[in-house]
Structure 1
């Protein structure tokens, strides 16, 4: 079996190459043909699609950003993928129970349980987990603009403090499948394909990655204090939370923001990190094959 290993060199405090070498040796010992590839800034169509043309499996060594980077290639080439988690949150891996273990990868290959999952697009850019507008998006973009190397949870502290001082929520108009469900609401908006969210806050807990729907969670909050209150609710209230937020499902979502605002995708800035006045989000059912752990 030909297996492609893609690693992010700055994930996991720069351990990506060492992890890739360890996995390559272990999988070759099982008789597999293994190609190791370092992720690049150029479009994956140039450096990954050719490698996947005759591959049977893609293993991604890195965090959620690395996963999102390669999902387009995996989908186009029809190659199942699995993550060897080496990032900060690793939400995709946590959702499926994927482990940073060569034994876990071997067992998944032996059992070969492939699940077809949905993906989504926001302003023509694909995402796998969620997109959002609000305080979290501003923090993500702040961190990215000041990032120079690998990050940890502590790296978010300074951006959170900077944003908290002056942050004010934008006004949002939200349309789901053509119907307006929110008019001028101020707060945080999460459009989710997966229930997983940073630090187990998980506002869209009913989201399912293969139901052909996006889950939309709106949490009213005008300032950073309101955001802090929502974080506490999300941590403490479990399944009782939904009566305190506005929650919708659909296949096509349009968002208008006033003023123009930043957004984030899967915990990263978009390809063009600049404020926008509208978002168009849609689901793409069943286009990504995922190799589930055994």
Structure 2
């Protein structure tokens, strides 16, 4: 059994040469606003290790990275100091250039970094670089009516209390902290209403005009202890849709209690898995949050369909040395092996 697990890991785990040319992007307004300090400290330590390092502030929009495509392609590693929103904007370009990525947690949630056990410690990054182990990880794409092109996401998209909360926060400038999320979450709870939605998976209708909480996930990291979408895994080239029919205020209270207890919510959610998930909104417009951000800063219009698909190819995630040990121990389970893809050194 252990050999079978390790064979699956061989399909998603690839080896890269020790990175020499490194790009660091930091989001100056992530979390407590200390990302610039962390980025500069990393630059100093990497330069001391005779690495070629360039540091930039993150771009506000995905298209801002297109003019840096050649520089990103010429680098051996992209290090992101920021949250999941910063990661999301870079997904497309690091996929096209096949440049490995490592994330220093700098957001309130930093789900991407926490998924792989990444830390703010420079020595952890150096040990990961020396080991050179990368996971091939898929991400999601959002398209549909009124959406230009396909918008990437790594963790999840959802409609419910979380999206109402993110909308309330709006375009607030400056660093965000937990108290801001709690305050706006309470405001959202007081006016809580759920979308009425139809869901189809790979062309088959699974929810017909149901009212409730909906989440489409590529990773189980979101509200991990609650296990809202436990089967979602970026090692698999598929997405998971979770739906909580007839969601009520008490469900949110249960979730809050379970978060404090660090236990699964055990809510009566329904789950569906596929490569293409389409959600049609009925009744009235509703906000959608994607990886912690208010999607496009506007609500999804009534009778519009949003389509979620899996990326055609994976990105390469440089993993910490400790995470690789966990892989060998069979802690990180893959549901379905994917084909290995060679990478330019």
* TM-score (normalised: structure 2): 0.79
DSSP 3-state at the match of 2:80: strand
> Does the residue aligned with 1:260 lie in a helix, a strand or coil?
coil
Which among 224, 233, 257 is matched to residue 249 of structure 2? 224
* Shift, 1:222, TM fit: 4.2
More displaced stretch, 39-48 vs 178-187 = 39-48
Output one character per residue of 1:1-36: Cα deviation in whole Å (capped at 9) or x when no partner: 110000001123221211111000101111110010
1:59 maps to which residue? 79
> 1:227 is paired with a residue of what secondary structure?
helix
Find out whether 1:144 has 2:170 as its counterpart: yes
Q: Which residue of 2 aligns with 1:108?
A: 128
Matched pairs, number = 292
| 1:116-131 alignment, distance < 5 Å | 116-123=136-143, 124-131=150-157
Shift of 1:128: 0.5
Partner of 2:305: 278
Partner in structure 2 of residue 290 of structure 1:
317
Q: 1:212 to 1:127 in 2, by over 3 A?
A: same
Counterpart contact for 2:38–2:120, Cα < 8 Å:
no
Give 1:166 deviation, angstroms: 2.1
Structure 2: how far apart are the matches of 1:48 and 1:225? 48
Tell me which residue corresponds to 2:42.
Answer: 23
Tell me whether 80-89 or 284-293 shows the greater mean CA deviation.
284-293
Specify the alignment match of 1:257 in structure 2: 281
Q: Hey, what's the Cα distance between the residues in 2 that align with 1:290 and 1:156?
A: 29
Q: Pairwise mapping of residues 72-221 of structure 1 onto structure 2 (< 5 A)?
A: 72-123=92-143, 124-145=150-171, 147-198=172-223, 200-221=225-246
Aligned equivalents of 2:59 and 2:53: distance in 1?
A: 19
SS at match of 2:165: helix
Q: Between Structure 1 and Structure 2, which shows a larger proportion of strand residues?
A: 1
Q: Establish whether residue 13 from structure 1 lines up as the match of residue 32 from structure 2.
A: yes
Kindly provide the CA deviation profile for residues 199-253 of structure 1, in whole angstroms up to 9, marking residues without a partner as x.
Answer: 74330112111111111111124443333235546776956937x2101111100
Q: CA deviation at 1:159?
A: 1.5
Give the Cα–Cα distance (whole angstroms) in 2 for the partners of residues 126 and 205 of structure 1: 21
Separation (CA, whole Å) in 2 of partners of 1:210 and 1:153: 30
Q: C-alpha displacement at 1:126, in angstroms?
A: 0.6
Q: Unmatched 5+ residue regions in structure 1?
A: none
Corresponding residue of 2:329: none
C-alpha change, 1:215 and 1:45, in structure 2 (3 Å) is: same
Does the 8 Å CA contact 1:201/1:235 hold for their aligned counterparts?
A: no
Instruction: Give the superposition deviation at 1:287.
Output: 2.2
- In 2, the alpha carbon distance for the partners of 1:240 and 1:158 equals 22
Listed as ranges, the matches of 1:23-42 within 5 Å are 23-42=42-61
Cα distance in 2 between the residues matched to 1:269 and 1:96: 25
Mean alpha-carbon deviation: is it higher for 224-233 or for 44-53?
Answer: 224-233
Using a 3 Å threshold, how does the CA distance of structure 1 residues 206 and 199 change in structure 2: closer, same or farther? Answer: closer
CA distance in 1: counterparts of 2:295 and 2:225, whole angstroms: 23
Structure 1 residues 169 and 44: alpha-carbon distance in aligned structure 2, compared to 1, 3 A threshold: same
Change (3 A) 1:270 1:221: same
Q: CA RMSD in A?
A: 2.1
Runs of 4+ in 1 over 2 A off after TM superposition: 44-48, 198-202, 220-242, 271-278
Given that 2:226 and 2:266 are in contact with CA atoms closer than 8 Å, whether structure 1 keeps it comes out as no
SS in 1 for 2:294: coil
Give the 3-state SS of the residue equivalent to 2:170 in structure 1: helix
